[in-house]
Amino acid sequence: MTNETNSKTASVDEVLDKGEYKYGFTTLIEADTLPKGLNEDVIRAISLKKKEPQFMLDFRLKAYRKWLTMKEPAWPNVRYPKIDFQDISYYSAPKPKKKLESLDEVDPELLRTFEKLGIPLDEQKRLSNVAVDAVFDSVSVATTHKKKLMEVGIIFCPISEALQEYPELVEEYLGTVVPIGDNYYAALNSAVFTDGSFVYIPPDTISPMELSTYFRINTEETGQFERTLIICAENSYVSYLEGCTAPQFDTNQLHAAVVELVTLDNAEIKYSTVQNWYAGDPETGKGGIYNFVTKRGKCAGDNSKISWTQVETGSAITWKYPSCILQGDNTQGEFYSVALTNGHMQADTGTKMIHIGKNTKSSIISKGISADHSSNSYRGLVKVNKGATNARNYTQCDSMLVGDQCSAHTFPYIETANNSVQLEHEASTSKISEEQLFYFEQRGISRENAITAVINGFCKEVFKQLPMEFAVEAQKLLTLKLENSVG
């Protein structure tokens, strides 16, 4: 089904065989936006433009050479037309979003969505890039936060900045969790990423606030190949929020991000995502974003913990498996996921829990909701290595179907090389039925509130992992998405 996508690598080779790029290298450096296409010159140009240290260029080139030998994965349960990797421009100078004078200039459809989500007025302005008054100016908010974080020694900045300011930290950890050749998209990302977030929490530090991409990406368009690296040193804790519930329109169809997390002894990272990218035309699925993300955390130190929480409600195709490598002894990995698909969306998402250390624990709670003509797959691997004595895993995989044109699939994989492990797996499939909604309505409860109640009930265990405000917005978001799908 996705086999046709594999043939693309041939044309990449062809381009390489030509030996030289048709635009001169100097022109490349001067250009604000690189012409479409990918080769070593393009990568050198990116690195040079960003004034990167030598190790970074070597990293990129190595990744690119690896990528050339790889094939697009064909195993995910998704279908899409071939991606022409030579038809993408891999660098453009960060463009500020168009500043608007007032909310009157914002797309009314977007405003209605904001209203339904209950996003406060000032926040609406910020999200749609309307100039806000001094008190709520996001830039000043970001600056205040940054100052507060610096006081306790926390580094939170764009990764391009970290490469200038803290190259030794980046070099030590970049690619240690997701190796450059990990998979096709991770290799591509490693070769061409232009920005993303960098977080370093020093030892014995509890982050005084939740770190959020809100603070970082505010005036610029979201990058196509984002790279995030978070390091939480000994005895430290950080909670990181990515994305927001507001719909994100973007001209880039392919998004291939990489996120790497590292915890040292007794450290904990909690990473929460709400993703609501454009899913394409609800009737045809055309134009939606392909979200091919590699997210992985390594519990490198003993007694450390990494927890992923995701609410995935957008993108035409989602291919994403936030995973944990439980390397230290007594480490813990968690994965809480709500994935909603409607229209013609396709999601193949889940997690990998790799148990290496002794007494490692992992839990997986996955809630898939499929509506309309969408397809929703859970794919999860629990792997227990030989030395991982007393490893434990609990997996719960629930699917909910809305309507009868959609599908839900579950692909659990278990590999264990140790007989002292305890694994539990539970799975269920349910439906929101017309009878249930009628029951609510017969008691005077609106259809909208009924759907909210049923969905919240279904997703309760995941929502409670999210920070309070985020959870409320996420609940509303799901209702909004499903309103037209039930009945």
Q: Is 434 a residue that touches another protein (CB under 8 A)?
A: yes
Question: Nearest distance from residue 444's CB to another protein, in Å?
Answer: 4
Please state, as a whole number, how many other Cβ atoms lie within 10 Å of the Cβ of residue 183. 20
* Joined tokens for residue 120: 């406060």
Helix or strand or coil: residue 109? Answer: helix
Please state, as a whole number, how many other Cβ atoms lie within 10 Å of the Cβ of residue 10. 9
Q: Is 108 a residue that touches another protein (CB under 8 A)?
A: no
* Residue whose entry in the numeric block shows the structure tokens 């909210």: 452
Q: Is 418 a residue that touches another protein (CB under 8 A)?
A: no
Based on CB atoms, which residue is closest to another protein, 109 or 435?
A: 435
The three-state (H, E, C) secondary structure of 376-424, written as one string: EEEEEEEEECCCCCCCEEEEEEEEEEECCCCEEEEEEEEEECCCCCEEE
Q: Is 443 a residue that touches another protein (CB under 8 A)?
A: yes
Question: Nearest distance from residue 215's CB to another protein, in Å?
Answer: 34
Q: Is 100 a residue that touches another protein (CB under 8 A)?
A: no
Query: Considering only 309-317, 333-341, 376-384, 431-439, which stretch makes contact with another protein by CB under 8 A?
Result: 431-439
Q: Is 396 a residue that touches another protein (CB under 8 A)?
A: no
Question: Nearest distance from residue 436's CB to another protein, in Å?
Answer: 5
Question: Nearest distance from residue 400's CB to another protein, in Å?
Answer: 10
Closest CA to 34 of 95, 98, 96, 88: 88
Question: Nearest distance from residue 480's CB to another protein, in Å?
Answer: 18
Q: Is 404 a residue that touches another protein (CB under 8 A)?
A: no
Query: Considering only 219-227, 350-358, 428-436, 473-481, which stretch makes contact with another protein by CB under 8 A?
Result: 428-436
Among 74, 204, 438, 464, indicate the residue that binds another protein (CB under 8 A). Answer: 438
Q: Is 464 a residue that touches another protein (CB under 8 A)?
A: no
Q: Is 86 a residue that touches another protein (CB under 8 A)?
A: no
Residues contacting residue 287 through CB under 8 Å, at least 6 positions apart:
253, 278, 280, 281, 316
Q: Is 472 a residue that touches another protein (CB under 8 A)?
A: no
Question: Nearest 5°: phi and psi at 476?
Answer: -65, -40
Among 430, 467, 472, 483, indicate the residue that binds another protein (CB under 8 A). Answer: 430
Helix or strand or coil: residue 381? Answer: strand
Helix or strand or coil: residue 368? Answer: strand
Beta sheet of 268-275, edge-to-edge order: 211-212, 237-243, 268-275, 305-312, 332-341, 361-371, 392-402, 422-431
Closest CA to 475 of 486, 214, 462: 462
Based on CB atoms, which residue is closest to another protein, 94 or 487?
A: 487
Among 254, 339, 454, 480, indicate the residue that binds another protein (CB under 8 A). Answer: 454
Contact present, 446 and 479 (Cβ < 8 Å): no
Q: Is 439 a residue that touches another protein (CB under 8 A)?
A: yes
Based on CB atoms, which residue is closest to another protein, 199 or 455?
A: 455
Q: Is 466 a residue that touches another protein (CB under 8 A)?
A: no
Question: Nearest distance from residue 363's CB to another protein, in Å?
Answer: 19
**Burial class of residue 51 in the structure, from the number of CB atoms within 10 Å of its CB (0-12 exposed, 13-18 middle, 19+ buried):** exposed
- 8-17 vs 54-68: helix crossing angle, rounded to 10: 120
Tally the residues of the chain. 487
Among 67, 185, 458, 463, indicate the residue that binds another protein (CB under 8 A). Answer: 458
Q: Is 456 a residue that touches another protein (CB under 8 A)?
A: yes
Based on CB atoms, which residue is closest to another protein, 321 or 458?
A: 458
Q: How far apart are CA 16 and CA 281, in angstroms?
A: 36
Residues forming a β-bridge with 248:
277
Q: Is 31 a residue that touches another protein (CB under 8 A)?
A: no
Q: Is 249 a residue that touches another protein (CB under 8 A)?
A: no
Residues forming a β-bridge with 130:
100
Q: Where on the chain is the footprint of another protein (CB under 8 A)?
A: 430, 433-436, 438-447, 449, 453-454, 456-458, 460, 487
